[in-house]
Chain A
Amino acid sequence: MTAMNQPKTTNEFAQKDARQTPREALDHWYLEPDAALRARVSNLKFWYGNGTQAIDDVSFPLVEKKVTALIGPSGCGKSTLLRCFNRMHDLYHGVKYSGSIELFPENENLIDLDPNVVRMRVGMVFQKPNPFPKSIYENVVAGLRIRGISKRSQLDEIAETSLTQAAIWDEVKDRLHQPALSLSGGQQQRLCIARALAVQPEILLLDEPTSALDPIATAKVEDLINDLDGKVTVLIVTHNMQQAARISHYAAYMYLGKLVEYNETSEMFTRPMCQRTEDYITGRFG
C-alpha cells in the first residue's frame, strides 16, 4: 500500500523545502507532522445542469479540526466546490460529479452517499444570513428537531452551548423567543453559525460568511471562527485575503475551476509557490 492510500497522517511528506512546482505541491501536501485528515478531495470534477464544468480536477486535503480557506478570484468555482461537500448541488437538476471526496476515518466517498445523510453530517453557513422566519430559539434547535430530538431540556442545553460557541449568547439570552428576523445582519449570521454548530457537524462549510456584514460584525464572526480552530473542521470560502490570513490554517487557491496551490496559509502568503498565486495575493490581479 502506498502512502497515498494511507492518508490518515501525512508526515511522510512533511519535509519542507523551498519553492516547488504546483504539480508537485499537489502530490506532496505539506502538512504539519501531526495533521490528521478529515477528508480528501481527489480529481474532483463537477458539471452544472447546463453543461458548465465549474470544477476541473481538484485535489486537496481537509485537515481535521483546522480552518481551511478557499481563495481565488470571483467565479473561479469556490462556492461550487464548497457546495459539493454537502451535495447542495443535488437539489438542482442535471448536475454531475466525477472523482471523490473521501471522508476519514470511515473511508467513504461522500459523492456516493445519500445527499440527505451527507447534509446531516456536513453543516453549512451561507453568504447571506438565512435564518428561518421563526424565533431565535427555534432557529438554533431546528437541526435537532429535524433529527427527531424534542426533549426540552436537551434542546435548551444545546441551544445555549451553540449560541455561546457562536458568540451571540449574551446578546440573545433574554430574547430567545423573539423572531430571528428582528436581529441585525451580523447577529443573524452568528445565529446561522450557531444553528449549524448545534448538530455538531463533522465538517462546517462557510461560504463568504462575512461578505454581507459590516466591519464590526465581520470581526465578531472572524473571532468566533478563530475560536473554532482546534475544535471543528472548517472549510471557508473568502475573497478577502486579509481574512484568509487572519483565520485560516491552510489555504487552497483556485483559478478557473482548477486548484493552483494548496499550502499552509502562512507559507502561501509569505512564499507562494506559483507566480499566479503571488499576483493574486499581492493584489496584482483578481
Chain B
Amino acid sequence: MQSIADNVGGAISYASLARKNRSKDIAIASLGIFVLFIAIATLLALFIDLAITGYPRLADPEFYTSFPSRKPLQAGILSAWVGTIMVMVVTACLSVPLGVAAGLYLEEYASKNWFTDLIEINVSNLAGVPSIVYGLLALGLFIYTFGMSETVLVAGMVLALLILPIIIVSTRESIRSIPSELREAAYGLGATQWQTMALYIVPAAKPGIITGAIVGLSRAIGETAPIITIGALSFIAFLPESPISSDAPFINFGWLTSPFTVMPIQMFSWLSRPQADFHISAAAAGVVLIVMTLMMNALAIYIRYRARSR
C-alpha cells in the first residue's frame, strides 16, 4: 500500500511537525498579548494620570453641581454634563431612526445597480471624513443658510450627521449577517417583505444595530471640533429649560433652542486657561467624559452578550 510518505519522498515526523506548528501558535499568541498589553497599559496610564491630576476636583461633590466660574476652585461641570446628555439625546433621536431606515433600505429594498453602488461607496467614505468638515457644513448650512443659532438642536444635528454613516454601515452589516434560512422561513410562510423585516430580520439584527448605534454615539460624545465650529459657548452659567414641567403639557421643547456647552468644550476651554488650577478641573472633566464613554461601551457589550447567551 502506498503511504503519504512515498508521495512526499520521505517519512514525516508528525510529532516534530506538531511541535513546530505549536511553537508558531505560541509566538503569534505572545505577540498578540504583548501588543494588547501595550495598548491597555498606555490607556490605563493616561487615565490614571488624569485621575490623579483631577482628584482634588473629582472628589468635590460641588464639581458636578456647579456652573463654570472664573474662580478655578468653584468651577463645575453642571452645564457641561447636562448639555452633553441633551445633545446626545437629540443625536440619538435623529441618527438612529434615519440610519437604521437608510441601512435597511440599502440592504433590503434598493435594487442593485451602479447608482446604489455609488451611494454605498460614498456612505463608507463619509465615515472617514474629518469631523471638522461636518462642523463647517453645519455652520454654512444650518447657521448661515437656515439662520439657526448655536443651539442644542443644531449640535445634535451635526453630530447625528457625523455618525449617520457608522449607523448605516453597522445596520447593513447586522442585517446581512442574518442567515438566509431565517429570511426564507419568513417569506416561505407568506410574509411580505415588510413583515419579514419588521417581525423577523430587524429583531434578529437588533443587537448588532444597537451596538452600532452606541459605537456611533460614543464617538459623538467626545467630538469637539464640529461643536466649536458651529460656535458653541464654553461659559454657560445656566441650564436649558427642563424638558419636563410640572404643569400641562408636562413636556416642552424649549431646551432644544437653548445655548449649551458640552464636556469636551468645557475641558478645552479650561485647558486653554493659564491658571494651573483650571488644568486640574480639565483633568477631572476628562475623567468624567471617559467614564461616560466607557459606560456606553459597557452597555453595548452587555447588549451583545445578552443577545448571544439567548
Map CB proximity to A onto B271-310 as digits: 1 under 8 Å, 0 otherwise: 0000000000000000000000000000000000000001
| Alpha-carbon separation in the docked complex, A88 to B183 (Å) | 11
Q: Given A88-B188, A179-B310, output 8 extra A-B contacts at Cβ < 8 Å.
A: A88-B187, A91-B187, A128-B181, A133-B182, A142-B199, A146-B195, A195-B189, A196-B188
> Which among A22-30, A118-126, A165-173, A243-251 touches the partner chain?
A118-126
The docked-state distance in angstroms from the alpha carbon of A124 to that of B182 is: 13
B71: Cβ under 8 A from any A Cβ: no
A contacts, CB < 8 Å to B: 86, 88, 91, 93, 116-117, 119-121, 123-124, 126, 128, 130-133, 142-143, 145-147, 179, 192, 195-196, 199
Given known A-B contacts A93-B112, A133-B204, A179-B310, A143 and B184 have beta carbons under 8 A apart: no
- CB-CB contacts of B172-199 with A at 8 A, as 1s and 0s? 0000000001111111111110010001
Task: Output the least CB separation between A232 and chain B (Å).
Answer: 16
A199 and B190 contact, CB distance less than 8 A: yes
Inter-chain CA distance A216–B55, complex, in Å, is 68
Query: Which residues on the B side are within 8 Å of A128 (C-beta)?
Result: 181
By a CB distance below 8 angstroms, the chain A residues around B182 are 130, 132-133
- CB <8 Å contact, A116 and B190: yes
Interface status of B235 (Cβ within 8 A of chain A):
no
> Which bucket holds chain B's interface residue count?
10 to 19
Interface members, chain B 138-197 (any A CB < 8 Å): 181-192, 195
Q: Which residue of B lies closest to A129 (CB)?
A: B181
* Chain B residue with the shortest CB-CB distance to A139: B185
For residue A111, give the distance in angstroms from its CB to the closest CB of chain B: 17
**Assembled-state Cα–Cα distance A174/B302 (Å):** 31
A-B contact list, 24 entries, CB within 8 Å: A88-B187, A88-B188, A116-B192, A117-B190, A119-B188, A119-B189, A119-B190, A119-B191, A121-B190, A124-B188, A126-B185, A130-B184, A131-B185, A132-B182, A132-B185, A132-B200, A133-B182, A133-B204, A133-B310, A142-B199, A143-B189, A145-B199, A192-B185, A195-B189
A1 to chain B, nearest CB (A): 34
Interfacial residues, chain B to chain A (CB-CB below 8 A): 112, 181-192, 195, 199-200, 204, 310
List residues of chain A with CB within 8 A of the CB of B183.
91
**B181–A130 touching, CB < 8 Å:** yes
Once A93-B112, A132-B200, A179-B310 are accepted as A-B contacts, the answer to whether A126 and B187 lie under 8 Å apart by CB is: no
Q: Closest CB of chain B to A218's CB: distance in Å?
A: 20
Distance of A131 Cα from B185 Cα, bound (Å)? 8
Give the top 5 A-B pairs by smallest Cβ distance, nearest first.
Answer: A120-B190, A130-B181, A143-B189, A124-B188, A130-B185
Contact A142 B189 (CB under 8 A): yes
Tell me, in angstroms, the Cα distance from A147 to B182 when the chains sit together: 18
Residue in B181, B199, B200 whose beta carbon sits within 8 Å of that of A126 in the complex: B181
Most chain A C-beta atoms within 10 Å of own C-beta, residue among B183, B184, B190, B199? B190
Is A147's CB under 8 angstroms from B190's CB?
A: yes
A96 to chain B minimum Cβ distance, whole angstroms, is: 17
Distance from B2 Cβ to chain A, minimum over Cβ atoms (Å): 28
Q: Quick one: which of B182, B183, B186, B189 has the most chain A CB within 10 A?
A: B189
Q: Roughly how many angstroms separate A145 CA and B195 CA in the complex, as a whole number? A: 10
With A132-B200, A133-B204, A179-B310 known to touch, is A86 a contact of B185 (CB < 8 Å)? Answer: no
CA distance A116 to B186 in the complex (A): 11
Residues from chain B with Cβ under 8 Å of A133 in the complex: 182, 204, 310
| A193 vs chain B, min Cβ distance (A) | 12
In the complex, A88→B186 CA distance in Å?
A: 11
